Amino acid sequence: MSTPTIDSVPSAQEPTRSGNKVSSGLFDPQLLVKSLPDALRKLDPRTLWRNPVMLIVEIGAVWSTILAVQKPTFFGWATVIWLWLTVVFANLAEAVAEGRGKAQADTLRKAKTDTVARKFAEWHPGIATPVELKVAAVELQRGDHVVVEAGQVIPGDGDVVEGIASVDESAITGESAPVIRESGGDRSAVTGGTTVLSDRIVVRITQEPGKSFIDKMIALVEGASRQKTPNEIALNILLAALTIIFVFAVATLQPLAIFAKASNPGVPDSLALDSHGVTGIVMVSLLVCLIPTTIGALLSAIGIAGMDRLVQRNVLAMSGRAVEAAGDVNTLLLDKTGTITLGNRQAGDFVPVPGVDAAELADAAQLSSLADETPEGRSIVVFAKSAYGLRERTTGELPGATWVEFTAQTRMSGVDLADGHQLRKGAAGAVVEWVRGQGGSVPTSVHGIVDGISASGGTPLVVAEVKGGKARLLGVIHLKDVVKAGMRERFDEMRRMGIRTVMITGDNPLTAKAIAEEAGVDDFLAEATPEDKLALIRKEQEGGKLVAMTGDGTNDAPALAQADVGVAMNTGTSAAKEAGNMVDLDSDPTKLIEIVEIGKQLLITRGALTTFSIANDIAKYFAIIPAMFVAMFPGLDVLNIMRLHSPQSAILSAVIFNAIIIVMLIPLALRGVNYRPSSASKLLSRNLYIYGLGGIVAPFVGIKLIDLVIQFFPGMS
């Protein structure tokens, strides 16, 4: 085997969207009602301290309530109510995001019923009839061996060490079709809570008590195990810093107002000003409207919703950090077989030698493949039928025929008909040797055809016959890896997102290059070993790039652990699932592309709503500041560009808008901003136009409309 190589291949064409998308968007209004008790419970300062922005709003609401009790007015109590609603709405956003996962958690808990495990007191392959002990599934320890038969529930996560069985994993994956689990190989892992449908297996438990796959999923969907990601922590620090700055800025208005009042004793008291300076409720209103309450209220919900969107696609993320890292991925490593290609080579062409008709070659190829039960053999039969119009035939139609099944030793399949006509199909070397053994000759053109197919990355199978005592070669079947439909477009999409795709394969460089060019990936790693994958990931990371990859085998575990986003297949080994930071329950390697899109959507949603939150503070500033000081400084009336009815209505309208906009943005936070693959500069420009400019315009419109409604309420003159 030659040294692994990485070569560049050309880029491709315009992308189209593909893949199944599951909407995680708008919530049911009933969910709001169900989540309201949780939102009220989150008013506890011991819970709210994790969100410093909303903690400041709650403190302000408490202070305003005290002031309203001391000096009750309609304006004061109306403002207090909306200040409390601001905090409740913020908690509601998080409660709704968490509430959507509780139904999933309840379903998963049903899989954790009081399962009884048939544990072996001692087990190894040499014991014919080991002693069984019946214990509760929750008492199982790592390393225990249990037996599970048809109709029984697998009591815990583990690996099959003996036997083979059909397993129903619908309780975990939602997929009704059963899967095969067997000892050895990369399809030995089983999940607790799934049901064995047939046969008998022995499972070695690999989980610690309370840390099963279902336990992790329940904690994930309920949000209990969600930790803030580095970017989220950084944004929280920024929001806290802005809040502190505005606290000091608003606090300085009090001494300035007292000084201004003392300098102008003839100015009458107003809503915002009295003999002691700025009234407390107005100060709180100004502070709440200026600090970034919108993004502070929605930040946690955005993160939870991002995790939820993965769960809806049957992907279990072990941490929010992994989801966030997916949005920043620069390099995508994808296995060729099963990910880029269908996994089995299929017949793609029949190439006859000179003097042989293509239809004659197709007929011989089909007959000689009827006894070949491999995927490649079946594809030849199907291709001959579809491409050349041959009718479907079976081995029972030819009485007296002797069928030659394909074996790894002979590397041929075929048939000996009753009239002495013999047909063979198989590897070039084996068939050529058979023809020569029958006294036939091999035309030089065959070698050129075989070499040409091999050079293009395909697999040549030669077809020959013995008819009338004469042996001859008929032609060559071109088997090739079939690239999955839409893969080139998906890779084009990745390229537009600024992501470099690398195909990993054990094929020789020539074959790998042909597949890479057809699929449209950027680079490829040929003749790759586990050490080569690990080295490639480290090389990319040394250049400051984030790397994502998929894997399912024990030999993939080191690379999955090293990758920034390691997606293990649920059908894979326990070692692979423990090494990765995500598990795809559907075991679809191409889903890595969707995971990257979800990660990017999470980052874009957070950035867009942060932009909107900071931008809409500008309009609220123009609503409250003129209302506060216009009585003392009439010239500030110029800033009252919305021409609001009165200082009272202006301040209350701003507070009401500040609360309502949180509820209005909850669907967007849960669904996520619509993501279209594009460059970073275009995405930035789009967000600035839509959410930056929109964040400035929306409050002007909203506050004015609210003002038009509340101006008729008492105390608003």
Would you please indicate which residues are annotated as catalytic (active-site) residues? 335
Give 395's contacts (C-beta < 8 A, 6+ positions apart). 370, 371, 401, 403
Q: Rounded to the nearest 5°, which phi and psi values hold at 130?
A: -65, 155
Q: 448: which 2 tokens? A: 């050129």
∠ at Cα 560 (142, 189), nearest 5°?
Answer: 40
∠ at Cα 304 (490, 216), nearest 5°?
Answer: 90
Report the DSSP pairing between strands 565-569 and 582-584: parallel
Residues 272, 631 contacting (CB under 8 angstroms): yes
Which residues participate in the annotated binding site for Mg(2+)?
552, 556
Residues 520, 12 contacting (CB under 8 angstroms): yes
Q: What is the number of H-type helices and E-type strands within the chain?
A: 24, 24
Which residues participate in the annotated binding site?
372, 376, 406-413, 425, 552, 556
Q: Which residues pair with 466 in a beta bridge?
A: 422, 471
Nearest in space to 338 (alpha carbons), one of 593, 535, 550: 550
Give 498's contacts (C-beta < 8 A, 6+ positions apart). 330, 679, 680
- What does the DSSP assignment read for 621-678? HHHHHHHHHTTT-GGGGGG-TT--S-HHHHHHHHHHHHHHHHHHHHHHHHH-------
Q: Which residue has the tokens 């995790």?
A: 307
Question: Rounded distance, CA 496 to CA 140, Å?
Answer: 49
- What does the DSSP assignment read for 300-359? HHHHHHHHHHHHHTTEEES-HHHHHHHHT--EEEEETBTTTEEEEEEEEEEEEPTT--HH
**Number of C-beta neighbours around residue 246 at 10 A:** 19
- Count of alpha carbons within 13 Å of 207, Cβ hemisphere only? 24
Q: 645: which 2 tokens? A: 């009815």
Which residues participate in the annotated binding site for ATP?
372, 376, 406-413, 425
Q: Is the dihedral of CA 96, 98, 100, 106 positive or negative?
A: negative
Length of the chain, please? 717
Give 50's contacts (C-beta < 8 A, 6+ positions apart). none
